Chain A
Amino acid sequence: MRSLNNIRKSVMKAEIHTNNQANQKVLNDLLEELANVQKHTPAGSQPERWRTIMKSPVAKLAIAAAIIIVCVTCLLFWKSTGSGIALADVLTRIEQTAAYMYQTRSTITRQQTTRESTSTVLVSHDNGIRITTQTADPNGDQHPHSETYVLPRQNCVLFITHTSKTYVRLKFDDTKLPFYREEYNDPHMIIRQILSCRHASLGQSVIDGITVEGFQTTDIAYKGGFMGLADFKGDPEKIDVKIWVDVNTFLPVRSEEEIVTMQGTHVHEVSYDFRWNVVSQADDFKPVIPEDYMSPAQEIAIPASNEETAIKGLRLFAHLAGVYPVNLTVDTLGKEAKRLMSLEKDFWKDRSVSENEKARKTNELMSLMGPALFYGTLVDEKRDPGYYGQSVTPKDANLVLLRWRVSDNEYRVIFGDLRSETVTAGALAELEKRRSE
């Protein structure tokens, strides 16, 4: 006679098997159901969090394609690290946190000069980001260096530099700010980047008495660094990024980034002392600019990322330089803008020129960044962009200067004379042949 315990075990553990094909078929049915539910759910019912505005590529695809993609990504998400924690869940946990704080210690070595700083970062879903940075003098004493505010409600980013007593207010259009909001050395951004790169689990360990699980990527596709600084200083040669997550709360405890660029810049950043769900108020994000601080322009408008601003920037560049930029990276166009400004030193030094006129000029030069921002968007959205500024000049009226895909069989083309039109893929192939001829 079986014991009662044995009976209980049999009921609990009686084996059941499922057919893999049927499993997938049922799952596909359910994913289709989910897609239908989402399609009929009013947009207003979605949570309004500016941190999650980043466009999901899946949302842009047809439902059928989405189902296949999510199945694949699902498998990758849950099977790639073989660990107990899924990093995607850590992202969700961070997004669910109303406000948090942490410390960052950065060392940036460039051309034998080393700059060390420590920052206190406050992130609030409702109010934005505040970063207070201090630098150490040779005696090791800390001094206030700068404050950075990312203010989503005002669509602007404000930099206050105490050492030079200056400030710059960058005004963004609605479509671009989400991109900049993400561009800081935040665990949210780090995890998103790690997820998009090859990564591995470091297993469990203990940090400050907390059991954590670590994740690491050495993939050079990783783009990091404070406000994208490492990215600005050249392509990475070596990447070593690690993040440790509390196994109980699924929230980060520590992160380390080590980035060496091909130009020799070495960035090392450690984030620690994370405090989750801190109390923060709108007043914490109200910048105080001392009266004696100066600004090159009251407000610098960052161009929107669209075809119109791209053409405007290319036209200005051609007008000032006589040619088109060789490539459309932010780095190249930023350097060109700086070089063009330096050509007009007298204008900038002339005290008889009004501040308003200088501000107008600053904003005009800022429009040079339009093509870089637009090209970056096309790359992010995998729109098959192609740019030929190295060989095409303003005189090449019928040669393709910039092109990108607008539908399965259509491309948008900006020609050497900066007119634009939509052509079929076949017609584009013919047009691009002309360039090679």
Chain B
Amino acid sequence: MLEDRILVSRLRRGSATALCRIYEKYRDDLLRLAVSLSNDTAAAEDIVHDVFASFIQESSQFQLAGSLRGYLARCVANRARNVNRAARVRRAVPLDDAPDGVSDSSRPDQWVVCSEELKQIANALALLPSEQREAITLHLQGSMKFREIAEFQHVPLKTAMSRYRCAVQKLRALLDGEVTRCDR
């Protein structure tokens, strides 16, 4: 997108205006994606903050090859993978005993407030295998093409598409209350 190329070019030269614009433009989408991938609002806030901070640190060398949205979405997904892996190790508790990620309680410095619908979706997504969860969120919330998702997951295009289809079917079943636990 032309505007994004211009913004990146300006940010490379240190334009704070460009940073403000990029932040305003993609903040909410990235937060939604991070919540969906991590099922944890506090973790999602850290992920998006860190993604923007890293992006700034690399901005002077950064060359935009595809879409900026796609690039930032991949960064969020990468960080969410790390957060999820660390959380799994830390908890070391069976999935059934783990608390729901997106809670109703609010923190004094809370950045994100999820709608009921998003909470429900994030909780359902958390029950999907991680690669299916990535495929559906990166495609629907990160606007990434299946080819890009396949590259990101290091799998053939058809596998990425099949993971997405499977994820949509399972999500429908979960949201309609047909199943309570996803078959991994």
Contact surface of A with B, Cβ cutoff 8 Å: 1-2, 4, 7-8, 10-12, 14-19, 22-23, 26-27, 29-31, 33-35, 37-38, 41, 45-47, 58, 66-67, 70-71, 73-75, 77-78, 86, 88-89, 92-93, 96, 248-250
Q: Is the CB of A34 within 8 A of B176?
A: no
Q: Could you say which residues of chain B place their CB within 8 Å of the CB of A78? A: 17, 20-21, 24
Known: A16-B114, A33-B57. Is A92-B6 also a contact (CB below 8 A)?
yes
Residue among A19, A34, A249 with the most chain B CB within 10 A?
Answer: A34
- Within 8 Å by CB of A67, from B3, B16, B36, B169, lies B16
Main secondary structure of the interface of A (DSSP, over half): helix
* Cross-chain contact A16 with B6 (CB below 8 angstroms): no
Pick the contact of A7: B27, B113, B141, B168 (CB < 8 A).
B168
Is B56 an interface position by the 8 A CB rule? yes
Please, which residues of chain A bring their CB within 8 A of the CB of B57? 33, 37
Which of B11, B19, B49 has most A Cβ within 10 Å? B19
Could you list 25 examples of A-B contacts with CB < 8 Å? A2-B175, A4-B172, A7-B175, A11-B140, A14-B115, A14-B121, A15-B118, A16-B112, A17-B113, A18-B31, A23-B111, A26-B111, A27-B23, A31-B16, A34-B11, A34-B14, A34-B19, A34-B56, A35-B16, A37-B57, A70-B16, A70-B17, A74-B16, A78-B20, A93-B6
What 3 A-B pairs are tightest by C-beta distance, nearest first? Answer: A70-B16, A15-B115, A14-B118
Interface size class of chain B, counting residues whose CB lies under 8 Å from the partner chain: 35 or more
Tell me whether A19 and B110 are in contact in the complex, defined as CB-CB below 8 angstroms, given that A11-B136, A11-B171, A37-B56 are known contacts: yes
In the complex, whether B109 has a CB less than 8 A from a CB of chain A is yes
Chain B: residues with CB nearer than 8 A to chain A? 2-3, 6-7, 9-11, 13-14, 16-17, 19-21, 23-24, 27-28, 31-32, 35-36, 49, 52-53, 56-57, 59-60, 109-115, 117-118, 121, 136-137, 140-141, 168-169, 171-172, 175-176
Whether A250 contacts B2 by the Cβ 8 Å rule is yes
| Complex Cα gap A26–B46 (Å) | 10
Judge whether B113 and A37 touch: CB under 8 Å. no
The smallest C-beta distance from A83 to any residue of chain B, in angstroms, reads 13
Task: Say whether A7 contacts B171, CB under 8 Å.
Answer: yes
The answer for the CA separation of A383 and B143 in the assembled complex, in Å, is 50
**CB–CB B117/A15 < 8 A:** yes
* Contact between B111 and A22, CB atoms less than 8 A apart: yes
Q: How far is the CA of A182 from the CA of B13 in the complex (A)?
A: 20
B32–A16 touching, CB < 8 Å: yes
Q: How far does the alpha carbon of A45 sit from the alpha carbon of B12 in the complex, in Å?
A: 10
Beta-carbon nearest neighbor of A86 in chain B: B21
In the complex, the chain B residue whose C-beta lies closest to that of A8 is B140
- Interchain CA distance A62-B26 in the complex, whole Å: 28
Rounded to whole Å, the gap between the CB of B62 and the closest CB of chain A is 11
B172 contacts across to A, CB distance below 8 A: 1-2, 4, 7
| Residue of A whose beta carbon sits closest to that of B178 | A1
Given A1-B176, A11-B136, A17-B112, are A34 and B16 also a contact pair (CB < 8 Å)? yes
A223 to chain B, nearest CB (A): 23
Q: Are A23 and B27 in contact, with the CB atoms below 8 A? A: yes
Query: Which residues of the partner chain B approach A250 to less than 8 Å between Cβ atoms?
Result: 2-3, 6
Residue B10 contacts which of A2, A45, A92 (CB distance < 8 angstroms)?
Answer: A92
Contacts of B112 in A (CB 8 A): 16-19
Which of chain A's residues have a CB closer than 8 A to the CB of B111? Answer: 18-19, 22-23, 26
- Interchain CB contact under 8 A, B20 and A8: no
Nearest CB of A to B114, in Å: 6
Q: Which residues of A contact B35 (CB under 8 A)?
A: 16
Note all chain B residues with C-beta closer than 8 A to A249: 2
Cross-chain contact of A11 among B19, B24, B109, B141 (Cβ < 8 A): B141
Query: Across the interface, which residues of B come within 8 angstroms of A34, CB to CB?
Result: 11, 14, 16, 19, 56, 59
Instruction: Determine the chain B residues whose CB is within 8 A of the CB of A7 once the complex forms.
Output: 168, 171-172, 175
Question: Are the C-beta atoms of A18 and B28 separated by less than 8 Å?
Answer: yes
Complex: chain A residue closest to B164, CB-CB: A8
Q: Is the CB of B27 within 8 A of A18?
A: yes
Q: Are B117 and A10 in contact, with the CB atoms below 8 A?
A: yes
**Quick one: closest A residue to B170, CB to CB?**
A7
Across the interface, do B14 and A38 meet the contact criterion of CB distance under 8 Å?
Answer: yes
Residues of chain B within 8 A (CB-CB) of A92 are 6, 9-10
Q: A11-B141, A37-B59, A250-B6 are in contact. Are A58 and B175 (CB under 8 A)?
A: no
Cα A305 to Cα B4 in complex, Å, equals 39
